[in-house]
Amino acid sequence: MDIVEDIKTKVSDKLETSTTTSSIGKTAGIILILLLVIIGIVGFIWDDEPDLFDINENTTMLLQKNDVHKVTGSTTAATLLKLIDVLLHKRGGYLTNDIMPPGILMDNVPNWEFGVLVQVRDMARTLRNNLSRSQSQSTEDVALVSTENQFYFDNDSWILPATESEYRKGMDSLQDYLIRLGDKDSPDAQFYARADNLGIWLSEVETRLGSLSQRLSASVGKHQLNTALAGDSAATQSTESAQSSHMKTPWMELDDVFYEARGTTWALIHLLRAVEVDFQEVLQKKNALISLQHIIRELEPAQDTLWSPVILNGSGLGIMANHSLVMGSHISRANAAIIDLRRLLEEG
């Protein structure tokens, strides 16, 4: 009898252990599923592109907050400040350097962030080197030197130091420039709204948009001739390259390029609107104001709502849409208008 009871006890213990293990497994599975659902929901909420903002309202708010007057250049500096502020404090915050889900699993918004960041860097560099200096031999504005350096910090550093903390330092120095710009007792801070200065920045924009246009149009694959030395019979290059090449964006990178273009055009619309305010007299004198407004109109459709859950990549004239080609079309037209505007500024 003792043997039978002992066997029964062992069997009962095994059943209890099995039941406990099964219960733990089910609980762990439920918790894992809940975590995945929460991560998915949060990722869906964070996967959002900020709306366009009013540059005039933003400028007025910043100037009133710092108790300074509006002068030439205030709108451009205030708009640049707002761009980086949105980059850091939009829904979900800054995602490019995230190492935890859902941020690390997302790529659309980080590529959008990079597109904005490139335009911020280009304007910060132009502010430092051209817009704030009367001539090439003049002294750089110390605050703008810091601003440019901070915005060129690695965009994916998550610690020691974090990207956000370095960009906030850049915002602080840019805000210092904005305050001194509107202070009559600080004549060292200047913004020179000249046609040549505007042309320099537009040249940067033209280069960026030209590259983006090529990358977007390569979504369906294209043969491209080598025109690197065209127009100059004495031109040379370091190494020989093929006379033609086949360009095609990898399938996994289609949405990356598309969202980088969305971020680029979002930032450019604001900066161009700011330039329209600060360079208004120059543009009117050159009869080029309508040309700048045309560029903005060409870029605005690039911010239309994307109704498709994925970036479609249909062939050029195929049945399915190709979102990259549509985006590239808007950017190419805007780029052509920028070339015309630069010519007006130089010759008008």
* Stretch 322-328: mean pLDDT: 90
**Choice among 17-26, 134-143, 156-165, 260-269 with the minimum mean pLDDT:** 17-26
pLDDT digits (tens, 9 = 90+) for 212-271: 999 998 887 666 665 665 655 566 777 776 666 656 777 777 899 999 999 999 999 999
As a whole number of angstroms, the distance between CA 269 and CA 297 comes to 9
Model pLDDT, residue 161: 93
Model pLDDT, residue 134: 84
Model pLDDT, residue 80: 98
Name, in order, each residue with C-beta under 8 angstroms of 264's C-beta and a sequence gap of 6 or more. Answer: 115, 116, 118, 119, 208, 209, 212
**Could you please report the per-residue DSSP string of 294-323?**
HHHHHHGGGGS---SSS--B--TTSSS-BH
Grade residue 10 by pLDDT with cuts at 50, 70 and 90: low
As a whole number of angstroms, the distance between CA 91 and CA 107 comes to 15
Model pLDDT, residue 127: 96
pLDDT digits (tens, 9 = 90+) for 42-82: 888 998 899 999 999 999 999 999 889 999 999 999 999 99
Best-predicted range by mean pLDDT (2-6, 71-75, 216-220, 309-313) = 71-75
Model pLDDT, residue 170: 97
Find, among 190, 81, 75, 178, the residue nearest to 141 by Cα: 190
For 92, left (φ over 0), alpha (ψ -120 to 50), or beta? left
pLDDT digits (tens, 9 = 90+) for 164-178: 999 999 999 999 999
* Stretch 303-330: mean pLDDT: 85
Which residue type does 22 have? S
Model pLDDT, residue 138: 80
Higher pLDDT, 124 or 251: 124
pLDDT digits (tens, 9 = 90+) for 101-122: 988 888 899 999 999 999 999 9
The mean predicted confidence, pLDDT, of the chain is 88
SS3 222: strand
Which residue type does 346 have? E
Model pLDDT, residue 225: 62
Would you give the distance in Å from CA 184 to the centre of its chain?
34
As a whole number of angstroms, the distance between CA 273 and CA 299 comes to 11
* Stretch 12-21: mean pLDDT: 59
Best-predicted range by mean pLDDT (182-196, 221-235, 312-326) = 182-196
Grade residue 135 by pLDDT with cuts at 50, 70 and 90: confident
Model pLDDT, residue 295: 97
